[in-house]
Amino acid sequence: MSYVVGIVGATGAVGQELVRLMRERNFPLSQLRLLASSRSAGKTIQVGDEKIVVEEAKPGVFADIDVAFFAAGGGVTRALAQDAVAAGCLVIDKSSALRMRDDVPLVIPEINPEQLQSHGGIIANPNCSTAVMLMGLWPLHQTFGLKRIFVSTYQSVSGTGAEAIDELDAQVRASVAGEAITSRVYPHQIAYNCIPHVDTFGADGYTGEETKMAQESRKIMGLPDLKVSATCVRVPVLRAHSIAVSAEFERPVDLTAARAAVAAFAGAELIDDPANNRYPTPLECAEHVRCGVGRLRIDTALDNGISFWVSGDNLWKGAALNAVQNAELMIREGWLAAKAASAAV
């Protein structure tokens, strides 16, 4: 069986990764429809041997589409997702707009795949920092029982979008040329700097990104009482987010079992040989399916604590790849119907 797939936000960074991953992973496509704002409608995008004309994402466009990956902002999801659902289209959404709704499963297929069976037409994809962090945390939770975590993120500029990549690049070039550096995307220069400010500040002093890491981790892992203290930081890295995690567990921990659990987990690659300078880095983990997990050690400040470092591609596991993996799993399990199937012989 093959599917008519729509990508809403097809011209953006995540939209382009969706196109690439579906081709590379041989997603069963009968047709690919590229959808974007009215500004981009009419442009053509080369996909393999085919030139596809970008259509405007607007009500009514989903009638023949089986699965729509929403890779635009929350505003677009709020404006169009219900229209897609009403047209019988499965929505897999990358935005944060609907993630915490009770009737919207928030799914990482290596963690809570069973939740893909009970939805009202919309599946949400987690925030990129949360997804990457959980690739290290989940196998440790299954082994020792998670109690609380303290985390700091090191988030690449591609998490903000193409304009932030351009800003970092322009600032590095300006610095090398001895020219004035200007900042438009971030409130401070990002080249040669770190900015402890991802998303907007709330009244409690935490940013939206920090709050998302707490709420989404609880929902995905089914741990409503999990205590999370997060500090999210933007760093001058182009692609792949990294997270330093200190986790406290219910049961006594040991590193041999911890490393074995991470090594056996489908979402992670254990890269943990510090004596030979082997640990994950964003450069090494960019454009990799699995997130790199390393620097595992007994935490010296927590009871039953382990600290570790994880790096993973924010545009892949943190966005496009996780969305495609969700759809692939639904297809494998027979949970996704194609509209044209009844007409097929």
Could you tell me how many residues of this chain bind ligand 2RA (CB under 6 A)? Answer: 9
Pick the binder of ligand 2RA from 40, 77, 160, 242 (CB under 6 A). Answer: 160
Annotated binding-site residue? 257: no
| 339 CA to centre of own chain | 28
Catalytic residue among 89, 119, 141, 241: 241
Per the CB < 8 A criterion, the answer to whether 214 and 137 are in contact is no
Q: For residue 314, which of 17, 6, 8 has the smallest C-alpha distance?
A: 17
**Minimum distance between the CB of residue 88 and ligand 2RA, rounded to whole angstroms?**
28
Distance CA 306, CA 151 (A): 12
Binding mask 26-55 for ligand 2RA (x = CB under 6 A): ------------------------------
Residues facing 70 on adjacent strands: 8, 93
Residue closer to ligand 2RA (CB basis): 4 or 71: 71
**Minimum distance between the CB of residue 206 and ligand 2RA, rounded to whole angstroms?**
14
CA–CA–CA angle 168, 134, 149 (5° rounding) = 95
CA distances from 77 to 39, 123, 188, 318, 323 (A): 17, 12, 30, 18, 15
198 binds ligand 2RA (CB under 6 A): yes
Residues 6+ apart with CB under 8 A from 34: 6, 7, 10, 11, 15, 19, 45, 47, 52, 53, 54, 55
Annotated binding-site residue? 12: yes
Binding mask 301-320 for ligand 2RA (x = CB under 6 A): -------------x------
Annotated binding-site residue? 322: no
241 is catalytic: yes
Per the CB < 8 A criterion, the answer to whether 167 and 326 are in contact is no
128 binds ligand 2RA (CB under 6 A): yes
Residue closer to ligand 2RA (CB basis): 90 or 133: 133
155 binds ligand 2RA (CB under 6 A): yes
Distance CA 345, CA 146 (A): 50
Residue closer to ligand 2RA (CB basis): 61 or 135: 135
* Cα distance from N-terminal residue to C-terminal residue, the chain: 11
Part of the chain binding ligand 2RA (CB under 6 A), chosen from 69-77, 121-129, 254-262, 333-341: 121-129
Annotated binding-site residue? 171: no
Pick the binder of ligand 2RA from 115, 125, 129, 217 (CB under 6 A). Answer: 129
**Minimum distance between the CB of residue 186 and ligand 2RA, rounded to whole angstroms?**
11
119 is catalytic: no
The owner of tokens 């943190």 is: 318
Half-sphere exposure (CA, 13 Å, Cβ side) for 336? 27
**Minimum distance between the CB of residue 160 and ligand 2RA, rounded to whole angstroms?**
5
Residues 6+ apart with CB under 8 A from 94: 14, 69, 70, 71, 125, 319, 320, 323
The owner of tokens 């966005």 is: 319
* 31 sits in which H/E element: strand 29-36
Annotated binding-site residue? 33: no
Binding residues for substrate: 155, 234
Could you tell me which residues are annotated as the binding site for NADP(+)?
Answer: 11-14, 39-40, 158-159, 314
Q: Which residues are annotated as a binding site?
A: 11-14, 39-40, 99, 155, 158-159, 234, 314
Q: Which residues bind ligand 2RA (CB under 6 A)?
A: 127-129, 155, 159-160, 198, 209, 314
Catalytic residues: 128, 241
